[in-house]
Amino acid sequence: MLLSIYVQAQDIVVHGTVNDDSGLPVTGATVLLKNTSEGTYTDFDGKFELEAPSDGTLVISYVGFTTVEVPINGQNSITVGLKVDLQALEEVVVVGYGTQKKSVVTGAIASVKASELEDLPVTRIEQSLQGRTSGLTIVTNSGQPGSSSTIRVRGVTTLGNNDPLWVVDGVIVDNGGIGYLNQSDIASIEVLKDAASAAIYGSRAATGVILITTKKGQSGKLSVNYNGYTGFSGPARKLNLLNATEYATLMNERYANSADPNSFQLPYPNPQSYGEGTDWQDLIFNNSAQRQSHEISISGGNDKSTFYASFGYLDQDGIVTSAISHYTRKNFRLNSTHKINDYIRFGQTFGYSHEKNTGIDSNNYYGGPLASAINLDPITPAIETDPALINTGDYANPNIIYAPNGFPYGISSHVGQEMTNPLAYVQTKLGNYNWADNFVGNAYVEVEPIKGLKARSTFAGKMAFWGGRSFNPESFLTSSFVTSTNSLSKNTNKGFGWNIENTISYQKEIDGHDFTVLLGQGAYVDNITDGQSVTYNDLPVNNYKDADFGFDISQDNITANAYKNDIHKVISYFARLNYAYKDKYLLTAIIRRDGSTNFGTNNKFGYFPSFSVGWIPNEEAFWPENDVVNQLKIRGSYGVTGNDQIGAFGYLSTISGGRNYYVGNETQGSIVTGNSPDAPANPDLKWEETSQTNIGFDTRLFKNFTLTFDWYNKKTSDILRYVPLPGYLGSTGSPAVNIGDMKNTGVDLSLGFSKHYEDYGFSLNGNVSTVKNEVVYLGTDTDYISGDGIQASSVNSIIRTQVGHPINSFYGFMTNGIFQNQAEIDAYTNSSGGLIQPNAVPGDFKWKDINGDGTITSDDRDFLGSSIPKVTFGFTFNFNYKDFDLLVFAQGAAGNKIYQAIRRLDIGTANFQTSALGRWTGEGTSNTFPRLSSVDPNNNFTNPSDFYLEDGDYIRFKTIQVGYTLPKDIMTKFGIDKVRLYVTGENLFTFTKYSGFDPEIGGGVFGIDRGYYPQARTGMLGVNLQF
């Protein structure tokens, strides 16, 4: 496998071997004849052969090792020992517009390298960050394949959009769109956490910045990598729901407790006759949902050009109704760098992905298979085979759905509204899908006319196309879920954004004073988005396979819509100074000026300064050599970042249509568009600002331990939001204003330990983050903002954002046990002797009279907790013994609450979880679960209260992987560098007290579980190949 590309006739043939410190051969090292471009690479045994002049000098280099020059001196055989380059091995961290040695970084930056991600079977890049860095809270939005995650960098920074800024190779990519990336293509991920690090992205950095660098080719031999796995997923747990007998028993009791004793008749006279009944969960869950991924890359290059190309394919079934919950992605990447001459370099990255997915409603108690499986009664059969019922009642409807065996799917006569037989529901959704095509790339040219002076121009863009197609057949699922006219719809959308950045930097070192000055300018455009949709109603066919836009549909039955978004532009100027004295005293100062189209002439521009300092005492002469603290760096920073994320034209008063009226009669009249002002103008609208102080240190202790600690205090002021005006002003919209302050303080801690012996080694890396959020100000007239409400109680929202409390706290009624008897009700009196709960009967909740006014009203609500975890943590344990390796990765959260709202409250006959078996049935039976009753004057179930609140703490073993690398000497014979086989278990164990499907609930739902699509438990078999 000798690979030589510049071979010329020379005087002698040199045979050589390149070894590392421990005498192992170094494969792929570059062997160059000094002052020429001629050379070769070492083979798998570290051997090379080169014709060279006998008086020449060989330059041997390899990434991570110190370059060595060896004079030939007429020798035909040379053995070279390469030494590990401590300087080069030291981690380099990507910062905005450049890289920096980790040792001199003064900001709080978390870095994740490719090596930590390589073997993890994740479908979206956010998941690979979860639990792996401190200061980041990542919660999956749904267990549905392809779902995004909710990411918060150091807490919730603002009232609006809190997604961090994603910058992929210099391209700004929105949070939802980041899914186009292929895991194997990532070289590194850097999270800029403190203001001083992020300030270089000034305007858009307030909620944190995540920089992703994709892989580049290495000059050297051509390298091919394959990583593939295949496996099966299933649900990690099911809810414990009542079976049919239990259901009938409890429904009887519920009815009996409120029925008129004179006309009393049990709805289910013989509960035992129903047996176990239907387990709807069994019918929707797939215990062998398949999942596979293949990623192949090829990279290489020479001293002029390098390239990296890859292809990826991912195919994943959802674990819930897989037929309509499925995701596939194909991606392609091509990155290259070129040295045009000694002064000019050119490079580009390009990524493409095609995604296709189909999914069900998640976290929505109003419908979909999950909600139906939870709420449907277990009495209704999945398929109705009783001849006495078929063709009568609902089953007489011609549009009911039939199972493959010719019998109709069961239709519940006990639980109605949106709850439908999930098997029938699936049949009406088959063939529907959404798709997306993403093109993301950049190109840059870098000129270095004299050493240290670099000018760089980058153009980057992202174009996305997405859409969907759906067919809604004529169907009858229940009498309240009827489609009487079929329809075929599709929509297509296009989004485009681009940015240009130009930087010039100069680096110079004089007598230990190392300066780097960077000046830059950028222009950013996004949200160039438009789309259209069309629906054909009343097609002459009624199944998705035949439905087509080719049918001639009358114009009356065609509806079409188009839209466009308002373009958003930002223009920026920035400057950065890095200064280091003898790598001991460090300083970084940044200033950035940004202008945004979202603000009017009064306040278009904002200024965002920051500075940070560092000191490395162990470099000082006075620092004693010791075995305890080997290295120490103390850091401090302060900076201001901005946010312009509010809709376009908030500083103007716009006029909108859609305030229409029909004028005239049926034949000659028409819909007339009415136009009127939206919201009052706010010409003073300006940048929201977040200032952040960070103090931390990095240290190496006892040689093998590393510790990074950061404390931060972050304050956001002039929060951009829409404030509803009093209704009497008649404004249709709400004006955009800068009202609101918020504070986050916390600690990020990372601890690492690693030790390696001859045959084995192990390492443990863990991190813990804490965050405390507090709303400081919401306006002079506003104490709180009410958030999400709960079904059946739309007026009493369970979420409240109030000054002095964390954002989106739970706010509701508080239970204080259950009245066991009438005496307890009679004893619960107010100051004037009246009953506090006159409507209560034994078995009802005793509500706390929070405001002490002697009655229970909506004023008797209080703060019940927060969905924001106080602590998040993760740890990774690696162990290897000879050719075996083991990885255990776990993450979790603590100190948060979850509001378990998965049962539909407005459907009294909806099924219960088995916790209802412990309901109050008489004195002393329960002090936590109230009596069942058809009427609920005490609002036991409809009051949003702590009854539904549970601890959300969990620890989850996300990945457990065992790998075996086949012996290298055998593989080499087949021309293969490396073969590693592995077995991975994902989400094998989750420890939590939470009673829902999954304690990890994301997606901006503030910890309210409305029937969350649970994450899958997966077993996979995979292989890494390298040749």
What is the Cα–Cα distance from 639 to 643, expressed in whole angstroms? 14
State which residue, 532 or 618, has the beta carbon closest to other proteins. Answer: 532
C-beta of 795: minimal distance to other proteins in Å? 5
Between 811 and 997, name the residue whose CB sits nearer to other proteins. Answer: 811
Q: Which is nearer to other proteins, 152 or 215 (CB)?
A: 215
Strand order in the sheet with 186-192: 109-113, 186-192, 209-214, 165-168, 171-173
Q: Which is nearer to other proteins, 538 or 619 (CB)?
A: 538
Picking from 354, 353, 355, 218, the residue whose alpha carbon sits closest to that of residue 298 is 218
State how far the Cα of 608 lies from the Cα of 667, in Å rounded to an integer.
61
Rounded distance between C-alpha atoms, residue 721 and residue 708, angstroms: 36
Which CB, 524 or 638, lies closer to other proteins? 524
- 3-class DSSP assignment, residue 788: coil
Write down the least CB distance from residue 179 to other proteins, Å.
25
List C-alpha distances in Å: 551 to 190, 557, 786. Answer: 52, 12, 49
* CA 257 – CA 244 distance, rounded (Å): 20
Smallest distance, other proteins to C-beta of residue 456, A: 8
From the CB of 481, what's the least distance to other proteins, in Å? 10
Rounded to a whole number of angstroms, the minimum distance from the CB of residue 277 to other proteins is 22
Query: Which is closer to other proteins, CB of 367 or CB of 895?
Result: 367
**Cα separation of the two ends of the chain:** 11
- Find the shortest distance in angstroms from Cβ 468 to other proteins: 15
Spatial CA neighbour of 143 closest among 1001, 1005, 1007, 1006: 1001
Residue 639 or 908: the one with the smaller Cβ distance to other proteins is 908
| C-alpha span between 880 and 756 (Å, rounded) | 9
Q: How far is the CB of 487 from other proteins (least distance, A)?
A: 8
Nearer to other proteins, 711 or 784 (CB): 784
User: Rg of the chain's alpha carbons, rounded to an integer?
Assistant: 33
Which is nearer to other proteins, 412 or 769 (by Cβ)? Answer: 412
Alpha-carbon dihedral 309, 315, 316, 317, rounded to 10 degrees: 170
**Least CB distance to other proteins at residue 847 (A):** 16
**Dist CA 302 CA 299 (whole Å):** 11
Q: How many CA atoms lie within 13 A of 854 on its CB side?
A: 7
Q: Cβ 83 to other proteins, closest distance in Å?
A: 32
- Separation CA 499–CA 459 (nearest Å): 6
Specify the residue for token string 């999945």. Answer: 382
Query: DSSP letters of 764-790?
Result: EEEEEEEEEEEEEES-TT-SEEE---B
Q: What's the CA gap between 61 and 34, in Å, rounded?
A: 12
> What's 178's DSSP letter?
G
Using DSSP's 3-state secondary structure scheme, residue 647 falls into coil
- Spell out the long-range contacts of 669-676 with Cβ–Cβ below 8 A and sequence spacing 24 or more: 676/732
- Residue 748 is encoded by which pair of tokens? 């990020």
Q: What distance in Å separates the CA atoms of residue 445 and residue 345, rounded to the nearest whole number?
A: 6
Closer residue to other proteins, CB minimum distance, 257 or 965: 257
Least spacing, CB of residue 720 vs other proteins, in Å: 17
Q: What is the sign of the dihedral through the CA atoms of 255, 260, 264 and 265?
A: negative
- Do residues 852 and 859 touch, judged by C-beta distance below 8 A? no
Cβ of residue 779: shortest distance to other proteins, in angstroms? 8
Length of the chain: 1027
Residue 883 C-alpha from the chain's centroid? 34
User: By C-beta, is 390 or 1023 nearer to other proteins?
Assistant: 390
CB of 619 to other proteins, least distance (A): 35
Of the candidates 763, 979, 980, 760, which has an alpha carbon nearest to the alpha carbon of residue 881? 760
Residue 677 and residue 652 in contact, taking contact as beta carbons nearer than 8 Å: no
User: Shortest Cβ distance from residue 851 to other proteins (Å)?
Assistant: 14
Please tell me the distance from the alpha carbon of residue 517 to that of residue 507, in angstroms, as a whole number: 7
Which CB, 227 or 796, lies closer to other proteins?
796
Reduce the DSSP state of residue 911 to 3 states and report it: coil
Q: Which is nearer to other proteins, 649 or 722 (CB)?
A: 649
Cβ of residue 503: shortest distance to other proteins, in angstroms? Answer: 8
- Secondary structure (3-state) at 244: helix
Work out how close the CB of 931 gets to other proteins at its nearest, in angstroms, rounded to a whole number.
17
- Taking the complex as a whole, how short is the minimal distance between the CB of residue 32 and other proteins, in angstroms? 18
Give 148-152 contacts, CB < 8 A, sequence gap 24+: 148/124, 148/175, 148/176, 148/178, 148/179, 149/124, 149/1002, 150/1002, 150/1003, 150/1004, 151/126, 151/175, 151/210, 152/207, 152/208
Tokens of 360: 């069900």
Minimal distance, residue 371 CB to other proteins, in Å:
16
CA nearest neighbour of 637 among 575, 695, 690: 695
| Host H or E run for residue 978 | strand 978-992
Nearer to other proteins, 537 or 878 (CB): 537
Nearer to other proteins, 402 or 662 (CB): 662
Instruction: Report residue 393: phi and psi, to 5°.
Output: 55, -135
Toward other proteins, which CB reaches closer, 64 or 669? 669
DSSP-assigned beta bridge partners for residue 496: 463, 528
Q: Among residues 240 and 557, whose Cβ is nearest to other proteins?
A: 557
Shortest distance in whole angstroms from residue 611 CB to other proteins = 24
Closer residue to other proteins (CB): 600 or 1019: 600
